[in-house]
Amino acid sequence: MTEVWVVLLAACLAAFAAIVGLIITKEIKIAEFRQAWINELRASLCELSSKLTYLSEKSARKSSVANGDVCVLNDEDIYDVYKIIYQVKLRINSLSPSPEERSLLEFLDKHTECHHFSTFLLKDTQEQFLNLCASVLKNEWERVKTGGRFYVNSGNLAKILFVYSMLGVFAFGIWSIASQLLADFP
C-alpha cells in the first residue's frame, strides 16, 4: 500500500511541475511581446517628441518673419504629427488606461488640438511630456519585471503547495518509520 501512495504522490508532483512549467513559459512569451510593445511605444513617443519640437521651432521662426498671420505648417507636417499621435493612442488602451496613460493621452489632446504645436516649444511643456512618457514606460516595465497578476499568484500558490507537499512527504516518512518501529515491538 505504501508504494501506491508514493507513486501517486510522485505523479501529482510531476503534474504540478508540468503545470508550473507551462505557466512560466506562457509568462515568458507574454513578457517578450510586452517588451516589444514597450520598445515600439518608446520609439513612437520619441518620434512624436522630435517632430513636435521641430514643428514648434519651425513655427516660431516663421511666425516671427510672417508676424503670426500665416499658418506655417503644411499639410504633410500636420499629417505626420497626427499619424504618430494615433499610433501612440492605439498602442495605449484608451478604453481602460492606467492613470499614467490617461495623463499622457490628456496631454497629447491638450497640446495638439487645432494644429497649435507652438506650446511644445516651451521647456516646461517638453519636460512635462518627457516625465509623462517616462512614467508610462516605467509602469509598463514594472509590469514586465514582476509578471502578470496570474503569474505572481500562481508562483505564490506553487510555493505554498510545494511547502505543504514536502511537509506531507516528511510527515508520511516519519509515520512510516514510526509504524515499522512500533510493529517490531512485541
What is the average per-residue pLDDT within 52-81? 70
Nearest one of 7, 13, 22, 8 to 165, comparing CA atoms: 13
**What are the tens digits of pLDDT across the range 115-132?**
566 677 677 888 888 899
Give me 112's grid cell.
495638439
How far is the C-alpha of 72 from the C-alpha of 92, rounded, in Å? Answer: 30
What is the average per-residue pLDDT within 64-73? 54
Phi (first) and psi of residue 23, to 5 degrees: -65, -45
Percent of the chain with pLDDT over 90: 10
How far is the C-alpha of 161 from the C-alpha of 153, rounded, in Å? Answer: 12
pTM score, whole prediction: 0.66
pLDDT for position 65? 52
What is the average per-residue pLDDT within 52-56? 79
pLDDT for position 118? 65
